[in-house]
Structure 1
Amino acid sequence: MTALTGSASDRRFYGAFLKDNPRERNLVLLKADLLRALRSFLHDISYCEFPTPVLCRHRESAPIPQFATKHPLTGEGYHLKHSAEEHLRRVVTSLDRVYDLGPAIRAERADGSHAIEFTMLQTAARDLTLTAGMRLVIDLIQHTVRSVFVTAVTRGTDFTTIKVRSVDDAIAEALGTPTAPEGEELVAAARAWLNEQNLPAAVGAWEVMEAFVQHAVEATVTTPTLLHSFPYELRHNSRIDEETGRAQRFSLIAGGVELCDGGVKLRTSAEYRPMVETNMALREELHGIPADSGPLEFYADVDRDPADVFTFGLGVERLLAACVGRTVADVLSFPHH
C-alpha cells in the first residue's frame, strides 16, 4: 500500500488538507465517480434505490455488537445501522430489486481494511440464483472500475478477470489435502491450522471457521477471486443447496481483503429463527448482550410472500482502496471526524 500523504494531525483539518494536497482531493473525485457508476449500473438493470434508516429500534440478527444511542428528548433507544440487508430483505417482498448506498457503522478495530463508519452498497433481489447473482456482481465491479478508470487494470488491482472458485478447493489447498474435510473434521482441521500458526482458535465452530477462512484462505488471495459454496458451518443466513450440502454464499476477495459478500438467503421466519437464536446466544457469550425477542417485524414481512432472495454487500472504500493501492483509512471522507 502507498504511504499516507500528510500526518494524522494534518488530516484533522480536512478541508485545508484537501486544498493543500491535490492528489488526495483527486481521491474524493474518484469516489464520487465510483458512486455514480454503481448507481448507473444498478438503475440500468431495474434496481430501485431505497435508503434505509441509520437509527434502528431493534438489533440486527448478526452475532455482533452494535453502537447504540438514545433520543436526547424522549430517551428512546436506537441501534446504529450495521447493514441495510434486513431492511431491504423486508422491502423486497413488494419491490423486486432494491439497493441502499449509504453509511454503515460498525464496532470495528480500525486498521488498513476496517473502519468504524464507511460507505456500503447493499442490495436485494427476488428470484435470482447464486450463479446469476455472482455474474451480476462480476459485471457490476468490472463496469464500475472501467467507468471510473477507463480500464480494468488499475494501479492497485487488475480487474480484467475475476476468478470463480469453490471454497472447498481453497480450503483443501490451505490444508494440503486432496479434498476439503466436512463437519466436525473440518472444524478440527481448521482449529489445528490456527494453532500451528499461533493464531487464537476460539471455542465455537463458527468463530474457528471464520478465523480460518480469513487467515488461511482469504489472506492468500492476490488476484480478484469470487469464492462460492461455503461449508455448512459458514452458512450465515444463506440457504443450503440440497444437492451439494453447501451454503449458497459467495465472497469476493482481492489482495487478501473481502470486498463483497452475499448469497441466496433463507426464505421464512421458521428458517431464520434458529439462526437468530444461535446468534443471540453468541452475542451474549461473546459480548455480554442479553437475548431479546428477536426481529419480530422482520419475521412478519418475510413471511408475507416468501421467495428466494439474493443479496450482497459491497464496501465502497474497500473497492476504491483496492483500485488505487491505498488503505481504507486513506480514502475515507473526514477520517478524523
Structure 2
Amino acid sequence: MTVLTSADRQQYGRFLHHHKQERDLAARRLSFIQAVRDYLRSKGYQETSVPVLTREPESAPITQFETQDPVGGEGYFLRHSAEEFLRRLMVVFDRVFDLGPVMRAETPDAMHATEFVMLQTAARDLHLDQGIGIAIGLVQSAMQSAFGTQAGEHVDLSHVTIQPFDRAVAEQLGLPTELPDVELLPTARKWLVVHQLPADGTDWEVAEAFMKHAIELRLTAPTVLTDFPAVLKHNSQVNPETGKAQRFSLIVSGIECADGGLKLRSAADYRPMVDTNAKLRSKLFGTAVADDPADFYADIDTAPCDVITFGLGIDRVLAVFTGRTIHDLQLFPFH
C-alpha cells in the first residue's frame, strides 16, 4: 500500500504517474463509476444534475457550508445531498439519478471526507424490496465490472444479508428475543452510558448513536438493515400495520455505504419533520430557523406519489471493498 505524503497532496498527477498500483486503483474507480451509470440506465433510470448551490438549507438536521456570490452578494448553501431535488422531479419522471460531488461539514477520517462523490437515486411506484434489490444489484454489478469479482480480499459482496433492525439489535446485544419498541430508547440510553458515550440527547440523537455504535460497527458481513423503529424513520414512511419505518441501510464492514427508503408523500407529511429538524439545527449549531421550503412543498404536492430513493457513497464503498481509506480512492485528495 502506498502512503500519500504532504507533497503528494499537491502533486497528485505526478504521484499517480510514478505509482502504478495507485494508478490502477484510480482507473478501477473510473470503471466503477461508469458501471454504476450503465446499471442504472439498464433499470430505466435517467441521469440528471442538480444544483450545487442552494438558496435554502436542506431538511436534514445537519450544518451546511455556506458561501456568497462575489458579484450579486446572494447567499448560498453547498449541497449536502441531491435527494430533495430528485424528489421534486418525481412528478414528471419515473426514475432519475444524480452522480456528483457533495460537501459535508464533517471531521475527515479514514471513511469521512469534506467533499466526495455521491450517487443519489429516486424512483416512483417501486416496492421497498424492489428498491433494496436495485441497490444491492448495483453495488454487486459495478464491483464485478470494475474488479472482475464481487469477493475482494477484504469484503465479499456476493452475498448480502437482509435483516430487520430489531433482529440485529437482539443479535448484537445477545438478547433472547427482540425488544418491544417501547424498550428501545431506555435500552439504548443504558447501553450508551455503559460504553461511556453521550446519552442525554434527543430521542433521535440517542437512537442514531445507538445504531452506529451498537449495531453498525458490529456488522462485519455485508448487511441491509430494514424495518427501522419510527424514531429512526428520517423522511421515510411508517408502515401503519407494523409501525416500522420503511427505510433501509447497507452496512459493509461496519460502515454505512448506502441509505434509502420509501419517502414521505406530501408537504403535510414532510412539514413536521422539516420543522423539527430546523429547531434541532438551531439547538445543535446555532443556525437560524429557516422559512418553510415552499418550492419543495409545491412541487411534491403537484402529483403526490410513492418514491423510493437511495444514496451511495462512491468513494466510501470502494474504500471498504479495497481495504483503503476514502482519501486513497479520491482523485485529487486533500485539495
- TM-score (norm: length of structure 1): 0.97
Query: How far apart in 1 are the matches of 2:28 and 2:10?
Result: 21
Equivalent of 1:267 in 265, 268, 276: 265
Query: How far apart in 1 are the matches of 2:8 and 2:85?
Result: 38
Query: How far apart in 1 are the matches of 2:181 and 2:272?
Result: 19
Amino acid corresponding to residue 87 of structure 2 in structure 1 = R
Q: Is the 8 A contact 2:250 2:259 kept in 1?
A: yes
Q: Is the 8 A contact 1:180 1:186 kept in 2?
A: no
Q: Per-residue displacement from partner, 1:270-291 (whole Å, max 9, x unpaired)?
A: 0000000000010011110111
CA shift, 1:4, in A, is: 4.8
Q: Is the 8 A contact 1:168 1:179 kept in 2?
A: no
Aligned position for 1:330: 328
Query: How far apart in 2 are the matches of 1:12 and 1:225?
Result: 37
Alignment CA distance shift 1:202-1:110 (3 Å): farther
Equivalent of 1:87 in 77, 85, 88: 85
CA shift, 1:140, in A, is: 0.9
Equivalent of 1:151 in 145, 149, 152: 149
Amino acid corresponding to residue 227 of structure 2 in structure 1 = S
Count, aligned residues:
335
Alignment CA distance shift 1:232-1:13 (3 Å): same
Q: Is the 8 A contact 1:175 1:193 kept in 2?
A: no
Query: How far apart in 2 are the matches of 1:89 and 1:331?
Result: 29
Query: How far apart in 2 are the matches of 1:45 and 1:256?
Result: 29
CA shift, 1:335, in A, is: 1.0
Q: Is the 8 A contact 1:61 1:294 kept in 2?
A: no
Q: Per-residue displacement from partner, 1:209-247 (whole Å, max 9, x unpaired)?
A: 101000000001111111111001100000001111000
CA shift, 1:156, in A, is: 2.3
Equivalent of 1:112 in 110, 113, 121: 110
Query: How far apart in 2 are the matches of 1:186 and 1:263?
Result: 21
CA shift, 1:10, in A, is: 2.5
* Structure 2: gaps of 5 or more residues: none
Aligned position for 1:17: 15
Amino acid corresponding to residue 177 of structure 1 in structure 2 = L
Aligned position for 1:276: 274
Give the match's secondary structure for 2:112: coil
Q: Per-residue displacement from partner, 1:33-65 (whole Å, max 9, x unpaired)?
A: 001000000111110001111011111000100
Query: How far apart in 1 are the matches of 2:331 and 2:54?
Result: 24
Aligned position for 2:33: 35
Segment of structure 1 superposing worse, 310-319 or 199-208: 199-208
2:126 is equivalent to residue 128 of structure 1: yes
Query: How far apart in 1 are the matches of 2:178 and 2:70?
Result: 53
Query: How far apart in 2 are the matches of 1:179 and 1:104?
Result: 40
CA shift, 1:174, in A, is: 2.8
Amino acid corresponding to residue 326 of structure 1 in structure 2 = R
Query: How far apart in 1 are the matches of 2:43 and 2:89?
Result: 18
Q: Is the 8 A contact 2:327 2:334 kept in 1?
A: no
Q: Is the 8 A contact 1:61 1:280 kept in 2?
A: yes
Aligned position for 1:7: 5
Give the match's secondary structure for 2:134: helix
Give the match's secondary structure for 1:138: helix
2:217 is equivalent to residue 207 of structure 1: no
Q: Is the 8 A contact 2:2 2:22 kept in 1?
A: no
Same amino acid, percent of matched pairs: 49
Aligned position for 1:218: 216
Equivalent of 2:170 in 130, 155, 172: 172
CA shift, 1:184, in A, is: 4.7
Runs of 4+ in 1 over 4 A off after TM superposition: none
Give the match's secondary structure for 2:96: strand
Give the match's secondary structure for 1:247: coil
Q: Per-residue displacement from partner, 1:2-44 (whole Å, max 9, x unpaired)?
A: x552323323211111112111111211111001000000111
CA shift, 1:183, in A, is: 4.4
Q: Per-residue displacement from partner, 1:148-180 (whole Å, max 9, x unpaired)?
A: 111111122111101110111011223332334
Give the match's secondary structure for 2:106: coil
* Structure 1: gaps of 5 or more residues: none
Aligned position for 2:295: 297
Equivalent of 1:56 in 46, 54, 57: 54
